[in-house]
């Protein structure tokens, strides 16, 4: 929004119009005086009084006519502004007024235009949020219903004694148990996702040496990598690289990347974990082998509820892990993205290095 310098332009304009109207009226009166028709010298006092009153009205009307002619553009503009404001108030957000001249009225019009655009943007944003929320609820309901239906189904079989022997009943219990875990996992992820989506989410920042933290997490995951027949090629710098992070949240990001690599990699293959720095940025790369990329544009994997075929078939994933990770990395002013090259999918996390 801009503010004009001449704040009293409109007052000055009006004063000028009054002066012009005054001189205009004077000119008209001089014209009549020259024609010698002001006073009838032979008339009575009453006649003289009436005549004076008549001319007095002529003066006033002449003044009003000239002034109205001069001011009519401004009045029309003011009416235009009033009508537009009324339309905006009735819901036509985004409507604007043409800017004419450079006075308080044009300033008013500019401010109204700004307000109208702001309201429109807010309205569009709200509508988008509403849409996202509705989509979220639909997805959540669907995802929660699936394991719950199966839990109820198996419980019903047990309740009605519809099993052949103890072993089958035990099998049902185990399915119920694993579905309940799936439900718990889903609810946890949803909770985390909605908590992190809030605009006023707080980070508990502390200074950490990132290579040490990564060595530690990779160490914890090594038995799982081995169990899944994945050979880890680790290349993490031994330098001290301080970063300012919310440890709990960033560990979640790293763990999600490692778990994804374990879940979605070709089995009996390599997993590469590399960490180095470039300028003021710490860069972590986690790569694993895949037969085909899950989608053409691998950055779609960061969209919420996106699940590749494997995750859907195994009913393992929630499709929230990477979108939660992206949100966390964004909150840290970092970047996360994915690349696909020659049978390798690479997840890259960039983080600013902390300088004291
Ligand atoms: N390392 C990876 N290799 C291959 N595909 C992956 C990898 N990480 C993620 N994906 C794909 O991206 C999808 C979304 O991942 P994510 O958001 O973590 O959700 P989830 O793991 O719960 O399915 C996965 O379903 C999978 O198809
Ligand atoms: Mg995941």
275 falls within a domain: yes
265 falls within a domain: yes
* Position in ligand 1 atom list of the atom nearest CA 256: 18
* Span 183-211, average pLDDT: 90
Please check whether residues 137 and 103 belong to one and the same domain.
no
Task: Give nearest CA residue, ligand 1 atom 13.
Answer: 307
Side-chain half-sphere of 340: how many Cα atoms within 13 Å?
14
* Span 172-185, average pLDDT: 94
Please check whether residues 309 and 261 belong to one and the same domain.
yes
Two structure tokens written together for 279: 């300028």
Q: Show the 3-state SS of the chain.
A: CCCCCCCCHHHHHHHHHHHHHHHHHHHHHHHHHHCCCCCCCCCCHHHHHHHHHHHHHHHHHHHHHHHHHHHHHHHHHHHHHHHHHHHHHCCCCCCCCCCCCCCHHHHHHHHHHHHHHHHHHHHHHHHHHHHHHHHHHHHHHHHHHHHHHHHHHHHHHHHCCCCCCHHHHHHHHHHHHHHHHHHHHHHHHHHHHHHHHCCCCCCCCEEEEHHHHHHHHHHHHHHHHHHCCEEEEEEECCCCCEEEECHHHHHHHHHHHHHHHHHHCCCCEEEEEEEEEECCEEEEEEEEECCCCCCCCHHHHHCCCCCCHHHHHCCCCCCCHHHHHHHHHHHCCCEEEEEEECCEEEEEEEEECCCC
301 alpha carbon, closest ligand: 1
Task: Give nearest CA residue, ligand 1 atom 3.
Answer: 264
* Angstrom distance (rounded) from CA 346 to CA 273: 10
- pLDDT averaged over every residue in the chain: 91
To the nearest 10 degrees (0 to 180), the angle between helices 166-197 and 104-159 is 170
103 falls within a domain: yes
Which residues have a Cβ under 8 Å from the Cβ of 277 and sit 6 or more positions away?
237, 239, 241, 283, 353
Which of 143, 166, 197 is the last residue before a domain boundary? Answer: 197
Please check whether residues 160 and 45 belong to one and the same domain.
no
**Is the pLDDT at 8 greater than 60, yes or no?**
yes
Amino acid 183: pLDDT? 92
How many C-beta neighbours within 10 Å does residue 21 have? 20
Q: What whole-number percentage of the chain has pLDDT above 70? A: 94
Full-model pTM: 0.70
The domain of 113 spans 9-122
Please check whether residues 250 and 220 belong to one and the same domain.
yes
> How many A from CA of 132 to the centre of ligand 1?
21
The total domain count for the chain is 3
Task: Give nearest CA residue, ligand 1 atom 25.
Answer: 307
Please check whether residues 269 and 240 belong to one and the same domain.
yes
When pLDDT is cut at 50, 70 and 90, the band that residue 200 belongs to is: confident
Please check whether residues 180 and 217 belong to one and the same domain.
no
Contact (CB, 8 A) for 270 and 283: no
108 falls within a domain: yes
When pLDDT is cut at 50, 70 and 90, the band that residue 10 belongs to is: confident
* Span 183-206, average pLDDT: 89
49 falls within a domain: yes
41 falls within a domain: yes
**Is the pLDDT at 145 greater than 80, yes or no?**
yes
Predicted confidence (pLDDT) per residue in 249-305, tens digit: 999 999 999 999 999 999 999 999 999 999 999 999 999 999 988 888 999 999 988
3 falls within a domain: no
Q: In CATH, what number is assigned to the domain containing residue 322?
A: 3.30.565.10
Amino acid 97: pLDDT? 94
Predicted confidence (pLDDT) per residue in 293-337, tens digit: 888 899 999 998 888 876 666 666 788 999 999 999 999 999 999
Binding-site residues, ligand 1, Cβ < 6 A: 256, 260-261, 264, 288, 290, 294, 301, 306-308, 310-311, 317-323, 345
> How many A from CA of 302 to the centre of ligand 1?
9
Please check whether residues 344 and 234 belong to one and the same domain.
yes
* Span 106-122, average pLDDT: 95
236 falls within a domain: yes
* Position in ligand 1 atom list of the atom nearest CA 311: 25
CA dihedral in degrees (119, 123, 125, 127; nearest 10)?
A: 180
Q: In CATH, what number is assigned to the domain containing residue 159?
A: 1.10.287.130
Amino acid 155: pLDDT? 97
Please check whether residues 210 and 331 belong to one and the same domain.
yes
Please check whether residues 211 and 326 belong to one and the same domain.
yes
* Span 218-244, average pLDDT: 95
């Amino acid at each position: 929004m801009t503010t004009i310098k001449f704040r009293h332009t409109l007052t000055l304009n009006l004063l000028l119009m009054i002066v012009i109207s005054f001189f205009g009226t004077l000119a008209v009166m001089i014209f009549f005086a020259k024609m010698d028709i002001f006073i009838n010298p032979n008339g009575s006092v009453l006649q003289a009084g009436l005549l004076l009153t008549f001319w007095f009205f002529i003066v006033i009307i002449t003044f009003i006519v000239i002034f109205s002619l001069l001011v009519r553009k401004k009045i029309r503009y003011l009416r235009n502004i009033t009508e537009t404001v009324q339309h905006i108030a009735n819901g036509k957000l985004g409507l604007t007024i043409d800017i004419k001249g450079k006075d308080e009225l044009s300033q008013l019009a500019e401010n109204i235009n700004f307000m109208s655009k702001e309201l429109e943007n807010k309205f569009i944003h709200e509508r988008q949020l509403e849409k996202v929320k509705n989509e979220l609820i639909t997805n959540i309901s669907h995802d929660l219903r699936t394991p719950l239906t199966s839990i109820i189904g198996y419980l019903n079989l047990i309740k009605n004694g519809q099993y052949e022997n103890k072993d089958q009943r035990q099998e049902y219990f185990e399915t119920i148990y694993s579905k309940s875990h799936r439900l718990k996992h889903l609810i946890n992820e949803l909770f985390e996702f909605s908590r992190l989506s809030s605009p006023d989410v707080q980070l508990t920042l502390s200074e950490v040496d990132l290579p040490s933290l990564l060595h530690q997490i990779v160490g914890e995951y090594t038995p799982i990598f081995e169990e899944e027949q994945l050979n880890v090629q680790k290349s993490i710098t031994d330098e001290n690289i301080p970063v300012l992070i919310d440890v709990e949240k960033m560990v979640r990001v790293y763990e999600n990347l490692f778990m994804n690599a374990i879940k979605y990699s070709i089995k009996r293959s390599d997993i590469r974990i590399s960490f180095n720095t470039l300028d003021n940025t710490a860069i972590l790369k986690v790569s694993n082998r895949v037969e085909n990329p899950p989608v053409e544009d691998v950055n779609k994997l960061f969209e919420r509820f996106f699940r590749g075929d494997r995750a859907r078939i195994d009913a393992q994933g929630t499709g929230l892990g990477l979108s939660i990770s992206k949100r966390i990395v964004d909150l840290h002013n970092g970047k996360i993205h994915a690349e696909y090259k020659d049978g390798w999918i690479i997840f890259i996390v960039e983080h600013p290095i902390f300088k004291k």
